[in-house]
Structures are given as structure tokens and as C-alpha cells.
């Protein structure tokens, strides 16, 4: 199934100069970038994005972390993109993330919720999150020249 997923390079990823390194990993895997922008969100927007965590003890810390600097928001498309993207990102806790994953290669602890990236967890989250972060005309349709090999027939 061809899916779209939302990835956010969180403020720690941007401030550490890892934008290119992170995007490269999705791009080289054959995932197509269909939307991308840099945004600095406020707490109200962050509350909406992380509404599922409103009752968690780390919610306030999470809001502070995600609003402390600019974020790169990326919409990715590919076959089973939601699962594939989560695999590339790795486990939530960097101390559990496997080497070879983004969190496993560039972090080792979850200080103040820092783990470099966000990735949609499932189809309904992906739909909701893409609607929140991107206007319809900010998502583009085009063909990558390697689609025959990395995606196959739709």
C-alpha cells in the first residue's frame, strides 16, 4: 500500500546540524519527499500535535522541547511508508534504539525528550498529522526516476 507519513526533524536535530544526514537516510531508502518546510511552532500548535500525550508526566517537558527552536517538517511517500519510516527512525528511547537507526546513531539518552525526530505511528495519525502540518497545495505529486525499482507498479 502506498502511504504518506509525517517526519519532523525536532529542534535538537536542526540545532545539531543533522538535517542533511537525516533526510539522506529517507531519500536513499527510496522514500519520496512530497512536502518539506521549516517551521517554529508555538505551544498551542504543539499541544495539538501531541494531544495523545496530554496526560503523560512528561507533557510539559515535551512542549518546551518541541517549541525551543525550528523544526523541519517532511512528508514522505512510499510503499508501507509509515512502517518503513519508523524502522529508519528507531525506538523512542535512544538508549534502546539500534545502531543503524537515526536515534541509534546520533543519540544515546532521552534527555528532556530529545530523540531527534518524530514519525507518524499509524495511518490515522499520519493523516491527521499531515493535515495539521501541511496545506493541501504544499504536498506535491511528481515522479522519481527510480520508482520502477524502489516502489514498483502502484
Q: What residues act catalytically?
A: 118
Please compute, for residue 120, the number of CA atoms within 13 A of its CA located in the half-sphere on the CB side.
27
- Does 139 bind ligand IDP (CB under 6 A)? Our answer is no
Q: Does 36 bind ligand IDP (CB under 6 A)?
A: no
Looking at beta carbons only, is 16 or 53 nearer to ligand IDP? 53
Q: Are 85 and 119 in contact (CB under 8 A)?
A: yes
121 binds ligand IDP (CB under 6 A): yes
Contact pattern for ligand IDP over residues 88 through 117, marking x by CB under 6 A: ----x-----------------x--x-x--
CB of 118 to ligand IDP, least distance (A): 5
Separation CA 89–CA 100 (nearest Å) = 9
Listed in order, strand segments (DSSP E) in 40-110 are 71-79
Binding residue for Mg ion, selected from 110, 121, 132, 139, defined by CB under 5 A: 121
The reply on whether position 64 binds ligand IDP by CB under 6 A is no
Shortest approach of ligand IDP to residue 153 CB, angstroms? 31
Centre a 10 Å sphere on the Cβ of residue 83 and count the other Cβ atoms it contains: 15
Task: Provide, rounded to whole angstroms, the least separation between the CB of residue 9 and Mg ion.
Answer: 15
Sequence-distant (6+) residues with CB within 8 A of 115 are 10, 12, 92, 93, 94, 97, 103, 107
How far is residue 74's CA from residue 17's CA, in Å, rounded to a whole number?
16
List residues binding ligand IDP (CB under 6 A): 53, 58, 61-62, 92, 110, 113, 115, 118, 121
Amino acid at each position: 500500500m502506498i502511504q504518506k507519513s509525517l517526519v519532523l526533524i525536532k529542534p535538537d536535530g536542526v540545532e545539531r546540524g543533522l538535517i542533511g544526514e537525516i533526510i539522506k537516510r529517507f531519500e536513499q531508502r527510496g522514500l519520496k519527499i512530497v512536502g518539506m518546510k521549516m517551521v517554529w511552532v508555538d505551544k498551542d500548535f504543539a499541544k495539538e500535535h501531541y494531544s495523545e500525550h496530554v496526560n503523560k508526566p512528561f507533557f510539559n517537558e515535551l512542549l518546551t522541547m518541541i517549541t525551543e527552536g525550528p523544526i523541519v517538517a517532511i512528508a514522505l511517500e512510499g510503499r508501507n511508508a509509515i512502517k518503513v519510516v519508523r524502522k529508519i527512525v528507531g525506538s523512542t528511547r535512544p538508549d534502546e534504539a539500534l545502531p543503524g537507526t537515526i536515534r541509534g546513531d546520533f543519540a544515546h539518552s532521552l534527555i528532556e525528550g530529545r530523540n531527534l525526530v518524530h514519525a507518524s505511528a499509524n495511518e490515522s495519525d499520519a493523516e491527521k498529522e499531515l493535515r495539521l502540518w501541511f496545506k493541501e497545495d504544499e504536498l506535491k505529486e511528481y515522479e522519481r526516476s527510480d520508482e520502477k525499482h524502489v516502489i514498483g507498479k502502484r
